[in-house]
């Protein structure tokens, strides 16, 4: 109610005093031109505030009493309650909005500051005058005139081109036409010959023929002077590489001595020797794999606690998402601390990050003071 009467009084008076609070003073502002928006603003009033004008001149109280048909004492009580409410808002919220007029705030020196908010034009002489926007007028030429100007510009550009450039363009066009004519003539005369197949000119068929010739040549991949390894050379190579093949070779020699002279060892015997050497290689490889499997992998460090452990953790923060908790945990671990992330339990919703953990709560509480120097007073102990 009081705010409405204050705004109505500002239309007719240059100063409205709010007892025990301050005075609102209006000043005339002439018309303005905004060169950026191309807008014209009519004359108006701007409001300022002076907190030293606290004496009651009776204007506000008498206006409220007259319009509401109440006594002056009741009107004065309404104004006093309005002032008390405004000061309470300034103490708690550090600001108070006077609707349609402005905003009150406390400065660093605990003085009331006022910020005028432009709203309704309070100058009666400018009542009903809106802000006018005047866009710049662009002179547009007729469509016929624009077409003539464009044609003349193209003619001037053609005339400005040097004679050498125009001759070069004509030469390129003539050369292209001559080449196309010669190609067409050659194809026509070739088609007149009965014993000539024009399809032989197809580049795809030429490529296929060259590819077939290359594959035939690649089938014989051995050179003319290639000599394969003999059976004795294979045996000696196996013996030098694998110790286990020596016994197989010795047995094979005994069998060869027992056989009649002049006989040739069949292919099954040579393949048995090759198979025995291959099995010896596989045994060595399998033994190396078994040794590698027996190597005990190092135990990975536990960074996430998902069940109760019975230990006491010093918590430095709680996060609503696991991603934020992991980022905080990794940042603390880079600083050299044994940080872990505790998953939320049944009645919890936060992912908690610890800085250290101890076997008993007393040990954790004793170490709490040393960690507060680096992480503040908000850290606490959780028995999990």
Residue-wise pLDDT tens digits, 105-129? 888 888 888 888 887 888 877 877 8
> What's the pLDDT at 243?
55
Query: Is residue 224 pLDDT above 60, yes or no?
Result: no
> What's the pLDDT at 202?
54
Domain boundary among 133, 166, 182: 133
* DSSP, res 200: G
Task: Report residue 271 as tokens.
Answer: 């393949």
**Distance from the Cα of residue 4 to its chain's centroid:** 50
- For residues 171 and 59, give the distance between their C-alpha atoms in angstroms, rounded to a whole number: 98
CA atoms in the 13 A half-sphere facing the CB of 336? 2
**Would you say residue 309 lies in a domain?**
yes
> What's the pLDDT at 299?
57
10 versus 302: which is more confidently predicted?
A: 10
Angle at which helices 244-258 and 267-294 cross, to 10°: 160
**Would you say residue 106 lies in a domain?**
yes
- For residues 260 and 182, give the distance between their C-alpha atoms in angstroms, rounded to a whole number: 83
- For residues 235 and 215, give the distance between their C-alpha atoms in angstroms, rounded to a whole number: 35
- For residues 159 and 151, give the distance between their C-alpha atoms in angstroms, rounded to a whole number: 12
Asked if 104 contacts 49 with a C-beta cutoff of 8 angstroms, the reply is: yes
Domain boundary among 99, 117, 133: 133
Average pLDDT on 138-166 reads 74
Average pLDDT on 267-296 reads 48
Residue-wise pLDDT tens digits, 80-109? 998 899 888 888 888 888 888 889 888 888
Long-range CB pairs of 103-109 (<8 Å, 24+ gap) are 104/49
**Would you say residue 335 lies in a domain?**
yes
Q: Which of 130-139, 175-184, 192-201, 304-313 has the lowest mean pLDDT?
A: 192-201
Handedness of CA 228, 233, 239, 245 (dihedral sign): positive
Q: What 3-state DSSP class applies to 351?
A: strand
Domain count, the chain: 2
| Position 228 confidence tier, pLDDT thresholds 50, 70, 90 | low
Average pLDDT on 146-153 reads 83
Domain that holds residue 366: 304-383
Query: Is residue 271 pLDDT above 60, yes or no?
Result: no
Query: Is residue 381 pLDDT above 80, yes or no?
Result: yes
Percent of the chain with pLDDT over 90: 7
- Answer yes or no: pTM beyond 0.85: no
> What's the pLDDT at 34?
84
Domain boundary among 133, 167, 198: 133
Residue-wise pLDDT tens digits, 311-343? 999 999 889 898 998 999 999 999 889 889 988
**What b-and-e string marks burial along 171-191, b requiring 16 or more CB atoms within 10 Å of the CB?**
eeeeeeeeeeeeeeeeeeeee
Asked if 1 contacts 64 with a C-beta cutoff of 8 angstroms, the reply is: yes
> What's the pLDDT at 330?
92
Average pLDDT on 216-232 reads 52
CATH number, residue 373: 3.30.70.1070
- For residues 190 and 224, give the distance between their C-alpha atoms in angstroms, rounded to a whole number: 44
Asked if 68 contacts 5 with a C-beta cutoff of 8 angstroms, the reply is: no
**Distance from the Cα of residue 130 to its chain's centroid:** 45
**Would you say residue 60 lies in a domain?**
yes
**Would you say residue 32 lies in a domain?**
yes
**Would you say residue 9 lies in a domain?**
yes
Residue-wise pLDDT tens digits, 1-21? 788 888 888 888 889 898 888
Query: Is residue 53 pLDDT above 50, yes or no?
Result: yes
> What's the pLDDT at 232?
66
Average pLDDT on 26-35 reads 87
**Would you say residue 186 lies in a domain?**
no
- Torsions phi, psi of 345, nearest 5? -85, -155
> What's the pLDDT at 37?
83
Q: Which of 101-115, 144-158, 292-306 has the lowest mean pLDDT?
A: 292-306
52 versus 271: which is more confidently predicted?
A: 52
- For residues 322 and 342, give the distance between their C-alpha atoms in angstroms, rounded to a whole number: 10
Which residue, among 97, 122, 120, has the nearest Cα to 45 in the 3D structure? 122
**Would you say residue 125 lies in a domain?**
yes
């Amino acid at each position: 109610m009081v705010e409405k009467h204050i705004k109505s009084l500002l239309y007719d008076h240059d100063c409205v005093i709010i007892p025990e609070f301050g005075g609102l003073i209006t000043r005339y502002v002439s018309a303005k031109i905004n060169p950026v928006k191309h807008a014209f603003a009519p004359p108006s009033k701007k409001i300022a505030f002076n907190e030293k004008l606290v004496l009651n001149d009776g204007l506000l109280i008498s206006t409220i009493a007259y319009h509401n048909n109440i006594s002056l004492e009741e009107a004065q009580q309404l104004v006093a309650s309005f002032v008390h409410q405004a000061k309470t808002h300034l103490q708690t919220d550090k600001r108070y909005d006077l609707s349609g007029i402005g905003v009150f705030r406390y400065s660093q020196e605990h003085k009331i500051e006022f910020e005028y908010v432009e709203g309704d034009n309070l100058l009666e002489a400018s009542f009903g005058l809106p802000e006018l926007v005047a866009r710049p007028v662009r002179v547009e030429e007729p469509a016929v005139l624009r077409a003539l100007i464009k044609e003349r510009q193209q003619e001037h550009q053609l005339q400005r081109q040097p004679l050498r450039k125009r001759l070069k363009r004509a030469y390129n066009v003539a050369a292209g036409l001559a080449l196309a004519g010669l190609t067409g003539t050659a194809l026509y005369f070739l088609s007149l010959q009965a014993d000539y197949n024009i399809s032989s000119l197809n580049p795809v068929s030429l490529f296929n023929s060259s590819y077939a010739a290359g594959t035939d040549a690649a089938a014989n991949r051995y050179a003319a002077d290639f000599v394969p390894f003999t059976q004795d050379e294979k045996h000696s190579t196996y013996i030098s590489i694998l110790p286990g093949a020596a016994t197989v070779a010795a047995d094979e020699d005994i069998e060869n001595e027992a056989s009649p002279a002049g006989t040739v060892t069949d292919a099954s015997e040579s393949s048995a020797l090759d198979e025995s050497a291959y099995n010896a290689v596989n045994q060595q490889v399998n033994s190396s794999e078994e040794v590698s499997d027996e190597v005990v992998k190092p135990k990975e460090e536990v960074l996430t606690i998902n069940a109760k452990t019975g230990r006491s953790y010093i918590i430095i923060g709680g996060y609503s998402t696991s991603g934020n908790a992991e980022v905080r945990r990794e940042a603390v671990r880079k600083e050299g601390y044994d940080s872990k992330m505790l998953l939320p339990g049944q009645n919890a919703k936060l992912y908690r990050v610890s800085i250290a953990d101890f076997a008993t709560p007393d040990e954790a509480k004793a170490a709490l003071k040393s960690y507060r120097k680096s992480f503040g007073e908000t850290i606490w102990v959780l028995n999990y």
